[in-house]
Amino acid sequence: MPKRLPKFVLSKDKLDEKLALLKQSPVPPPEPIAMCYSIALPSPEDQKTFSYICPLCGRKTTHSVDKWDILFQLDQIRDASQTLREKGLEIYLDDKNLCSNCCKPRYALGELFWRITIGERTHFVEIYDWENDYSILTSFLSARNKSDYDKLMLKLSGDLSRLEILLGKTNG
Ligand SMILES: [Zn+2]
């Protein structure tokens, strides 16, 4: 294994500065809401079980889910968080709540969270659409100039709420 490069982490000040730059970008006008053409209903053959072996206590929990469930994407989510860490954000997938033994009482069994540390503070954000979060954070962390920030503002349709939750600015 090659030795890991020294860890590069963006400071809270640097992230705040980037957020302030993004807020200077023009907010695009609202777009008409796209119509949804078809809704696929899950059929019984789409039902699957997902077994989770807890790395902390070793117990197995079986979840009943459909085949598109986020639980089948845990490896992709871990890869995504690794990529974001390489861009300077301390972010990890927290999957403790997949274990019926370790699930904290205030959380529902099966909920997934991002664990994000900025400066001295660690916060948890529930994951609904990890690909969207990944896409927002990638663009945000990679933004270097006004044109990058303008593009991100356009992509977000002027709505910074999810980004601010991810950055620990508001409670998610
Ligand atoms: Zn456990």
pLDDT of residue 44: 73
Kindly tell me the sign of the dihedral angle through the C-alpha atoms of 34, 38, 162, 171: positive
In a domain, 100, yes or no: yes
Angle at 14 between CA 3 and CA 18, to 5 degrees: 115
Q: How far is the CA of 92 from the centre of ligand 1 (A)?
A: 18
Q: How far is the CA of 55 from the centre of ligand 1 (A)?
A: 7
In a domain, 107, yes or no: yes
Q: How far is the CA of 155 from the centre of ligand 1 (A)?
A: 38
Share of the chain above pLDDT 90, in %: 71
In a domain, 120, yes or no: yes
Stronger pLDDT, 89 or 4, i.e. the higher one: 89
Give tens-digit pLDDT for 105-143. Answer: 777 888 999 999 999 999 999 999 999 999 999 999 999
Nearest to 59 by CA among 94, 108, 96, 104: 96
In a domain, 90, yes or no: yes
**In this structure, what token pair is assigned to residue 135?**
């896409």
In a domain, 33, yes or no: no
Q: Has residue 70 got a pLDDT over 80? A: yes
Nearest to 91 by CA among 2, 163, 4, 146: 163
In a domain, 102, yes or no: yes
Determine how many CB atoms are found less than 10 A away from the CB of residue 110: 20
pLDDT of residue 172: 46
DSSP string, 8-73: ----HHHHHHHHHHHHTSPPPPPPPPPPP---PPP-GGGEEEEEEE-TTT--EEEEEEETT-GGGG
In a domain, 55, yes or no: no
In a domain, 144, yes or no: yes
Task: Evaluate whether 56 touches 102 at the Cβ level (below 8 Å).
Answer: yes
Q: How far is the CA of 68 from the centre of ligand 1 (A)?
A: 24
How many domains does the structure of the chain reveal? 1
Q: How far is the CA of 102 from the centre of ligand 1 (A)?
A: 4
Domain that holds residue 111: 73-166
Give tens-digit pLDDT for 16-52. Answer: 999 999 999 999 888 776 666 666 666 777 788 999 9
